Amino acid sequence: MTIQQIKYFLILAKELHFWKTAEKVFISQSSLSRQIQSLEDEMGVQLFERDKRNVKLTDTGKFLQEHWSIMIKDLDQIHRQAKKINEGTSGFVSISYPGSIAFKFLPNFLEILNSNLPDLKLELTEPTDENHEKLLLDYQTDIAFSRDKIEHINIDSLKLYAEPICLVVPNNHWITEESLKNLNGLKDEKFIISGLHKTTFFASLLRNLFNTYGFEPKTSIESDFGGMILNLVSKEIGISILPLSFKFAKTPSIRFIKLQEEIDLYINWRKNENNNTIKKVIEYAKLMEK
């Protein structure tokens, strides 16, 4: 029994005419008769009652017509989906990302994917420990956006762009872009920042920054969640240092003052990736490279 034989049967069951059916499926009437006979012989059932003038479904034929119609429809849908996956236009892709890109870059990127790959299903994860390398190697994520390049023999990375890091202060704070010569004048300020003891890339960047200016900040609140930090700064609970991307969150009552230091954004993926859908998503990300 083949799928093609079942399709021949379903068309004949609808037409109830061998010659018309043969024309529709582009085979000879004798070939169609042999295919149907072979199907009946293999199953050991009679599907049609036929004489010289009429073709009529048996009760068995009616039963199989009902159930095989559903099966073939489902099978055709599965085949179409498999073809889309093979072409890289459908499927499931998991993406991990730092919270700072959630306000501009990531929404813009997802808009492009939605326009060009409308059947794609995405899973978005913002890992707090930023261990994107482990997520990729353990197949817990397929594409990782990160602030540092992942140096691993089995991972490819591409730098997309660089942006300044900024001092984030309430609107009425005394410091301005003109008055900020260096960070030494902020020794007595309360900071709301990521814990400097952590091993994440941004925590390391902050440690190096404060070491450069020779002081340890007075950290009043530790947090890795930029959205929360912005809200706390707007309530004048403290000041912070964040990538410029957070400016696009448009939190009211705060100002961003650019510092000299910059931070990068990389896209990382498993080397020699065979999944065409993942490869297509990577190609669209490359188009956003600045």
CATH node for 161-264 = 3.40.190.10
Q: How many angstroms separate the CA atoms of 109 and 90, rounded?
A: 16
Q: Give 87's Cβ-side CA count (13 Å radius).
A: 12
Which pLDDT score is estimated for 178? 81
> What architecture is the 90-159+266-286 domain classified under in CATH?
3-Layer(aba) Sandwich (3.40)
Q: Which class would CATH give 3-87?
A: mainly alpha
Mean pLDDT in runs of 10 for the chain (290 residues)?
A: 88 88 87 89 90 85 90 81 66 89 94 91 82 86 92 94 95 87 84 88 90 89 92 96 94 94 94 86 84
Every domain range in the chain assigned CATH 1.10.10.10? 3-87
Contact 10, 68 (CB under 8 A): yes
Whether the CB-CB separation of 165 and 243 falls below 8 Å is answered with yes
Task: Give the pLDDT of residue 177.
Answer: 83
pLDDT at 167: 94
d(CA 244, CA 256) in angstroms, rounded, equals: 7
Looking at this protein, which amino acid is placed at residue 89?
Answer: T
Interatomic CA distance for residues 157 and 163, integer angstroms: 18
Domain limits, CATH 3.40.190.10, in the chain:
90-159+266-286, 161-264
Tokens at 142, concatenated: 């397929």
Phi first, then psi, for residue 87 (nearest 5°) are -85, -10
N- to C-terminal Cα separation, the chain:
56
Q: Which residues pair with 98 in a beta bridge?
A: none
- Structure-token pair, residue 167: 């001092």
The pLDDT value recorded for residue 89 is 66
